[in-house]
């Protein structure tokens, strides 16, 4: 049964209210003033407090302010003998949950009981809502932790697979086989980097592309660059976050195109620059560009390698709902635009 404290300096009315509320199913304790009521509220919890306006010394508004200063204040029903609306408005502005105008007879107790039920019901709903939200937050935190752990495990597993591929490449007798295995290693790395970012970020649904592409290109440079012909990659990325699947597609495309530029854009032993940019294209799209100043590409020419990379790039572009566009100019200029 809810515990209610009724604060009023009129001892006779306190006893009448206590008996009347008992008949209506409430257990009510009483206090003879603001200080006594505050001491009772501070000593043990009450589900609701009712405060009379007209009390000597500290009136109801003073008591209301004192109650709201408590660490866990109960809701307050304000009781006044005045029919002036300014008193009720002042009480509600000060934080009262409801107010009742004091009258003579049983009607007052009926109104007071009705107010108690309404305020207690609302407080119960608020408490249940807070508990449900706390449980939902806890559930979300558990799911986020599990997802982070899954991404961590996937990233580690892919790292192990990448190491196996690297070992196989180093043992291969054919340069063609070594290059093909290096390509495979780079594709695995593009996917592993996404899971590594998701594991280390507070955002579990999207990937921040600037850091992702920067880390990815470091791995590509490490794999393909040679001391005699440095080919730096210039990266420009605007603040863009993409969903996991789209980030993987962009990462694979960039890996394939930059790897191709390392292998085919410039003659052996000759240095040259490679440029990658990712920018916003309106509010809901992004634009990807990969460029070099090398020997160029003639549309219709067959693939210089196995052709697997070209097929993979087309598949990734299709997964983004887009296609690659080769623009004329010195070297290779490849563009892609897709929805974020």
pLDDT at 299 over 70: no
Q: Which of 23-32, 133-142, 193-202 has the lowest mean pLDDT?
A: 193-202
Q: Which of 60-64, 121-125, 189-193, 299-303 has the lowest mean pLDDT?
A: 299-303
Residues 250/242, Cβ–Cβ less than 8 Å: yes
Side-chain half-sphere of 299: how many Cα atoms within 13 Å?
8
Region for 296 from its dihedrals, namely left if φ exceeds 0, alpha if ψ lies in -120 to 50, beta otherwise: left
Within 8 A by CB and 6+ apart from 172, the residues are 178, 181
Q: Which of 255, 197, 243, 212 has its CA nearest to residue 340?
A: 243
Side-chain half-sphere of 118: how many Cα atoms within 13 Å?
12
Q: pLDDT grade, residue 300 (50/70/90)?
A: low
User: What is the predicted pLDDT for the residue at 172?
Assistant: 83
Q: Which of 14-28, 256-270, 272-286 has the lowest mean pLDDT?
A: 256-270
Q: Which of 102, 60, 96 has its CA nearest to residue 81?
A: 102
User: What is the predicted pLDDT for the residue at 189?
Assistant: 80
CA-atom Rg of the chain in angstroms: 36
First to last CA, the chain: 55
Residues 46/74, Cβ–Cβ less than 8 Å: yes
pLDDT at 319 over 90: yes
Residues 208/241, Cβ–Cβ less than 8 Å: yes
Q: Which of 55-69, 145-159, 307-321 has the lowest mean pLDDT?
A: 145-159
Within 8 A by CB and 6+ apart from 216, the residues are 189, 190, 193, 251, 254, 255
Q: Kindly give the interhelix angle for 175-200 and 209-224, rounded to the nearest 10 degrees.
A: 160
Residues 61/53, Cβ–Cβ less than 8 Å: yes
Side-chain half-sphere of 293: how many Cα atoms within 13 Å?
9
Question: In the chain, how many H helices and how many E strands?
Answer: 9, 12
What are the structural domains of the chain?
Answer: 3-133 (3.40.50.2300), 207-339 (3.30.565.10)
Most confident of the ranges 135-149, 168-182, 224-238, 273-287: 273-287
Residues 161/184, Cβ–Cβ less than 8 Å: no
pTM: 0.55
Q: pLDDT grade, residue 199 (50/70/90)?
A: low
User: What is the predicted pLDDT for the residue at 26?
Assistant: 92
User: What is the predicted pLDDT for the residue at 272?
Assistant: 87
> Rounded to an integer, what distance in angstroms lies between the CA atom of residue 38 and that of residue 73?
10
């Amino acid at each position: 049964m809810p515990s209610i404290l009724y604060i009023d300096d009129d001892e006779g009315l306190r006893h009448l209210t206590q008996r009347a509320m008992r008949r209506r199913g409430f257990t009510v304790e009483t206090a003879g003033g603001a200080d006594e009521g505050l001491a009772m509220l501070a000593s043990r919890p009450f589900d609701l407090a009712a405060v009379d306006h007209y009390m000597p010394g500290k009136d109801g508004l003073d008591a209301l302010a004192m109650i709201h200063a408590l660490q866990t204040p109960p809701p307050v029903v304000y009781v006044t003998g005045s029919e002036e609306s300014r008193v009720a408005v002042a009480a509600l502005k000060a934080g009262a949950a409801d107010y009742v105008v004091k009258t003579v007879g049983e009607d007052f107790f009926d109104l007071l009981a009705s107010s108690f039920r309404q305020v207690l019901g609302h407080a119960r709903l608020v408490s249940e809502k807070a508990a449900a939200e706390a449980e939902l937050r806890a559930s979300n935190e558990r799911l986020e932790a599990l997802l982070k752990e899954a991404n961590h495990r996937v990233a580690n597993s892919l790292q192990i697979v990448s190491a196996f591929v690297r070992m196989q490449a180093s043992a291969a007798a054919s340069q063609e086989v070594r290059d093909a295995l290096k390509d495979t290693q780079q594709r695995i790395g593009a996917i592993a980097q996404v899971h590594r970012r998701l594991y280390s970020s507070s955002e579990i649904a999207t990937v921040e592309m600037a850091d992702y592409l920067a880390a990815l290109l470091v791995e590509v440079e490490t794999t393909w660059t040679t001391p005699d012909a440095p080919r730096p990659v210039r990266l420009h990325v605007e603040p863009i976050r993409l969903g996991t699947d789209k980030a993987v597609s962009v990462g694979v495309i960039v890996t394939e195109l930059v790897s191709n530029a390392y292998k085919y854009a410039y003659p052996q032993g000759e240095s040259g620059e490679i440029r990658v940019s990712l920018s916003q294209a309106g509010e809901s799209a992004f634009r990807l560009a990969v460029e070099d100043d090398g020997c160029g590409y003639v549309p219709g020419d067959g693939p210089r390698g196995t052709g697997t990379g070209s097929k993979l790039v087309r598949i990734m572009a299709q997964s983004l709902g887009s296609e690659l566009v080769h623009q004329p100019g010195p070297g290779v200029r490849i563009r892609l635009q897709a929805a974020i």
